[in-house]
Copies of this chain bind each other. A is one copy, B any other.
Amino acid sequence: MSVKIATKTQVETVLDKYDTFLFDCDGVLWLGNHLLPSVVETLTLLRSHGKKVIFVTNNSTKSRADYVHKFEKFGIKASSDEIFSSSYATAVYVDSILKLPKDKKVWVLGGSGIQDELKLVGYESIGGSDPTYNKELDLDDPESPIYHLDPQVGAVVVGLDTKINYFKSAVTMQYLNNPEIPFLATNIDSTYPHKGLKLPGAGTCVETIACASGRKPLTSCGKPNPSMMDAIVKAHKIDRSRSIMVGDRLNTDMKFGREGGLATLLVLTGIETVQTLNQLEKDVQPTYYSEKLGDLFELLQ
C-alpha cells in the first residue's frame, strides 16, 4: 500500500532517501493559472537541502524557454536544463534516435514549442504555427500547399494543436502517404485541462492523423515513454534508486516513474482521488501519496 505523507518524520525520511525530485507541472505545481499552496516554499526547501529538481511536462505547445517564463510568472526559479517537455523529448528523438539528416525538414502539426525545440537541435520545420494554414482547405487553388509538398520533409511530428483544422490534417495526411516518412507523436494525452475545462488533448490530433493515414505513430515521445526518462538520467547523471517522480496522473506520471525505476509520489491536487488510488493493484501503487505537494513544506514547520 502507498504510504500517506502525513507527519514531519515522514517528510524527513523522504528528504533522506532521495536526492532528485522529478515533477509533473499542471495539477502538481499549479492548476491552469492558479499556483497551488506552498509550492514555492516546497521547491525552495528542496533546493536548500541540496536536492536536484527537474520538471517533466507532456505539454508540447511550449518550448523549455517558454516554460522558464511560465515558472517566473509563478515566482518559481527554474533553468532551461531543469525542464523536460515532450516538445524537447521529440526533438531529441528526431536527432538522437531517428538520426534524421540535418538537411531534412520536419512537418509539424502542433504548436511553436515543437518548432523551437527542433530548431535548437538543428532542424528546419514547416507547418506548425505558420498562419498560412489557419484557413479552409481550398482545392480550387492550384497554389495550395496540398499540391506542393516539400520534398525535403523527412519526418512528421504531431502534437497538440489548438488551431488544428481540416486543411492542416489533410496536408499532414499527404506527407504520410509516403511510407518512408516516419510519424512521431509528442504525447497521446486524450484531454488537456485548461481554464477549468477539459479540452481535446494531443491524442485527438494524433488519432485524426492515424485514422486518415492508416498509420500508427512510431512512438509517443513524452511520458510515460522510457526514452524520455533515459534522456533525463543521461543529461543529469541521476541515480534512479535515489530519485522520486511526483505527479497527479497514474497512467502517465506514476507509470513513467515506476517503469523508469524511480520511487513515486502521487499528489491529489489534479486528476486522481483516494478512490482511484484504493482501486489499484498492489504492484502499481505509488510509493507515497499526499494531499498536495505543499504538505512537504507545511509538515516540516
Interface positions of A (Cβ within 8 A of B): 134, 136-137, 139, 146, 161-166, 169-170, 173-174, 177, 190-191, 194-195, 197-201, 203-205, 207-212, 214
Q: Which single member of B139, B174, B177, B207 contacts A208 (CB below 8 Å)?
A: B207
Q: Are A166 and B162 in contact (CB under 8 A)?
A: yes
CA distance A139 to B197 in the complex (A): 10
Residue from A134, A162, A191, A204 with most neighbouring chain B CB atoms (10 Å):
A204
Q: Indicate if the CB atoms of B208 and A212 lie closer than 8 Å.
A: no
Number of copies: 2
User: In whole angstroms, how far apart are the Cα atoms of A208 and B166 in the complex?
Assistant: 12
Contact B214 A208 (CB under 8 A): no
Cross-chain pairs A/B with CB under 8 angstroms, 16 sampled: A136-B162, A163-B166, A164-B166, A166-B199, A166-B200, A170-B197, A170-B199, A174-B197, A190-B212, A201-B211, A204-B208, A204-B209, A204-B211, A205-B208, A207-B210, A208-B208
A140's nearest neighbour on chain B, judged by CB, is: B195
Nearest to A168 among chain B residues (CB) is B165
Excluding A166-B200, A199-B212, 13 further A-B contacts by CB distance (< 8 Å) are: A136-B162, A161-B166, A163-B166, A164-B169, A165-B165, A166-B199, A170-B199, A173-B199, A174-B197, A190-B212, A203-B211, A204-B209, A205-B208
Contact B173 A198 (CB under 8 A): yes
Q: Determine how close the nearest CB of chain B comes to the CB of A16; give it in whole angstroms.
A: 40
Interchain CB contact under 8 A, B211 and A169: no
A137 and B165 alpha carbons, distance in the complex (Å): 12
Question: What's the Cα separation between A198 and B139 when bound, in Å?
Answer: 12
Instruction: State whether A200 and B204 are in contact (beta carbons under 8 Å apart), knowing that A163-B136, A166-B161 are contacts in the complex.
Output: no
